[in-house]
Amino acid sequence: MNSINEQNNKESLVCADIEYRATAAENHCHGALNKLADLNRDCLYTFKHRKKTRKKIRNKARSYYEDNPDGQFDPYDEIKDAWACRYVLLSQEFMPGFVEKLVRLIVTNKPVDGISSPFKHGGLEEITIYDNRPDKDPLSIVSKVTDKLSRLLSPEDLENKVKKDSKPSGYSSVHIIAKVTVDYTTISGEDKKGVDVAVEVQIRDIFEDAWGEIEHRMVYSSKDDGEGENRPFLSDSIWGQHLNALKTLLDGCSQYASILYRYEQQSQIVENPKSDSAPLSLADTDKRHVISLLKQEGVGNQIILVVDAAYEQLKGVQEQRLQLSDPAYQELADTFADAIKVSQAFLDLKFSDGYSVRYFLESERLLALMNTTESELPLTVYDDYQKLFNQFPEDLVLAFRKGQILCRKTELQDFHLAVTVLEKAQANIENPRCRSSNFRQKGLNLLRDAIPVQIGHACALISERLIKTDPKKAKGYLERSTQLNQSVVDRCNLDMLSHVEADHGRILGRAINNFLNCLIDKERGDGTIAAYILSKRTPEWDKDRIAELLQWMDHPGLAKFRAEYSTRDTIMVVRAVLGETDLAKKEASAVMDELYKRALSYSSLEGMHPGLVSVNLKQYDEKLCYSRAVTIHTLLG
């Protein structure tokens, strides 16, 4: 009898201790995780959390003991959901992105959306993706979620910590177990410091959550553990048949909701080309945080008004989606220069992540200057970028911009240096230390595609310089450029184009353009474009694939990039090489007429001779495109 009492007392103490740990974990986690919910209300229905009672902890422990009669059971290790929370999303369409955001908070241990991580660094224990559908099923979340996780986890963690599971009921959800480190006082009054406690986070959509509530209330309300998804599905009972039919109906609703949200995103992009721009949302976020910091430091209203006006002008430029070299970019650069001048005494004020007001204002000024031209930039722009980069050497956005500027220079050594800088940025993109400011995390997703495209561009420039002196090396660099751009193109499909963001559209458009140029350069070798067109050689291309890419370039999602003269130049040449004479001539004629009128707007010479048009054009890409259009129009008669 005494041994039984001792066992019961020991069991009670353990269960009480687990409950106290759960309370400490709740106090530690709830604020940050609730804030994450508040910041994602556009995709979230509700945020729930619960702590197991001591009775439920005891019942769960006893069930584990019964399953492990040999005593190989430690309740501290096995009961990982004494405190748990659940994010209920409006649609499964939001599941992959939200899971990525939450896992990023866990594995990087860095702020996300300005929220400090409550989790232990390296505290991810396991991720279970519950789904019993084939991966290609529209309702399946497995491939979409694992694709996001592959960007955050090492291959080893992806294999060992992420698993797919299924329930007979068709339960669809993501369960994450991670550790937090807490301090607490035991039931006996002993203070415990730095104790690791596992917590569970669930993510599911509103339909799955509704199903779980109905199933629990109608069939399992008498059970103590409250975990309906872990109990057998009563397919043989009359209730099971009704619930099975209801589950099928709710799954259909879930799929339909995903389609509706996807369609809404697509409609916003196609019908309103000014919506859903990553830079636009960043401009709002940056302005809010910069002005908030200035106000906290007691900066005068006059200075704040100047900074506010600069960001409002930035939003206006981004809303118009202007072509590169538009005069508005120079005006924007001047406005940010004024903001920097009046804020001089406060430029070194820092946010919690170490970034300064100078970083935000100066990076916008320099980016505007970069957009004033597609050709070589003044040395002062490069020098100013280098100074900013020296202050934030691990910033990936600045590293990317440095690579871009180096590609605008003229020396071969600059192109090689661009490759080195960009390769280092690419290697560091998953390194949590090498991040942009907390307020600009969204831009990092763009860099995953933008960096390889820019490396490919640098390799193509090197190849062009080496083609006469070292054809073998030139061919190697050209092949690498082809592969890098093709890798970005191959990750896209027509459905993605329908809801691609503005900046991602530009990146994809440039990848397609660069890929097509690489194919042309491979065919012509060290000869001219004109000579190759005149040779009428049949290129060894996958013509169906090329036709598909040309079709993509006419898609509304790539409209901004399609209108650029460097792109129109490429399309003219490709159509001419493919023997699409009428289409090539039509494009060439349109370019010639348009740029002739533009040249007249720069000069008062009426009736300007066509040969003088390119001389009077201001931008390098305009001059090149006009000359190419004249060549193609002449060659094709």
State the Cα–Cα distance between residues 104 and 90, nearest whole angstrom.
21
- The parent domain of residue 124 ranges over 14-262
- Which tokens sit at 352? 């919690």
Length of the chain: 637
The residue type at 283: A
Cβ-based neighbours of 107, under 8 Å, separated by 6 or more: 122, 124, 152, 153, 432
State the Cα–Cα distance between residues 496 and 517, nearest whole angstrom.
23
State the Cα–Cα distance between residues 22 and 26, nearest whole angstrom.
6
- Which tokens sit at 336? 């940010």
pLDDT of residue 501: 57
519 touches 541 (CB < 8 A): yes
pLDDT of residue 498: 56
- Which tokens sit at 47? 């945020």
Instruction: Please state, as a whole number, how many other Cβ atoms lie within 10 Å of the Cβ of residue 537.
Output: 11
- Which tokens sit at 572? 């003219």
CA distances to 376, 402, 403, 413, 418 from 410, in Å: 8, 14, 13, 9, 12
pLDDT of residue 266: 43
> Tokens 């009046």 belong to which residue?
342
Cβ-based neighbours of 213, under 8 Å, separated by 6 or more: none
Task: Please indicate, yes or no, if residue 84 is contained in any of the structural domains.
Answer: yes
Domain count, the chain: 1
pLDDT of residue 277: 34
State the Cα–Cα distance between residues 479 and 353, nearest whole angstrom.
40
State the Cα–Cα distance between residues 216 and 224, nearest whole angstrom.
11
Task: Please indicate, yes or no, if residue 486 is contained in any of the structural domains.
Answer: no
- Which tokens sit at 399? 């590293």
CA distances to 215, 234, 264, 554 from 540, in Å: 60, 61, 41, 24
> Tokens 């003044």 belong to which residue?
378
Task: Please indicate, yes or no, if residue 9 is contained in any of the structural domains.
Answer: no
Instruction: Please state, as a whole number, how many other Cβ atoms lie within 10 Å of the Cβ of residue 15.
Output: 25
φ and ψ at residue 200, rounded to 5 degrees: -115, 135
169 touches 133 (CB < 8 A): no
Q: Which CATH number characterizes residue 109's domain? A: 3.30.460.10
State the Cα–Cα distance between residues 172 and 206, nearest whole angstrom.
11
Distance of alpha carbon 59 from its chain centroid, rounded? 44
Those residues of the chain that have pLDDT short of 70 are 1-8, 64-73, 109-110, 112-114, 132, 135-139, 169, 218-240, 242, 259-282, 321, 323-324, 374-375, 430-445, 493-503, 600-616, 618, 620
Task: Please indicate, yes or no, if residue 428 is contained in any of the structural domains.
Answer: no
Task: Please indicate, yes or no, if residue 416 is contained in any of the structural domains.
Answer: no
The residue type at 553: M
pLDDT of residue 262: 59
92 touches 104 (CB < 8 A): no
Cβ-based neighbours of 207, under 8 Å, separated by 6 or more: 250, 251, 253, 254, 257
Bridge pairing between strands 162-165 and 83-89: unpaired
Helices assigned H by DSSP within 225-352: 238-271, 278-296, 301-320, 327-342
Distance of alpha carbon 187 from its chain centroid, rounded? 46
Taking alpha carbons only, the member of 420, 378, 387 closest to residue 403 is 420
Taking alpha carbons only, the member of 469, 550, 464 closest to residue 515 is 550
Task: Please indicate, yes or no, if residue 87 is contained in any of the structural domains.
Answer: yes
- Which tokens sit at 155? 């291959």
Task: Please indicate, yes or no, if residue 188 is contained in any of the structural domains.
Answer: yes
Task: Please indicate, yes or no, if residue 46 is contained in any of the structural domains.
Answer: yes
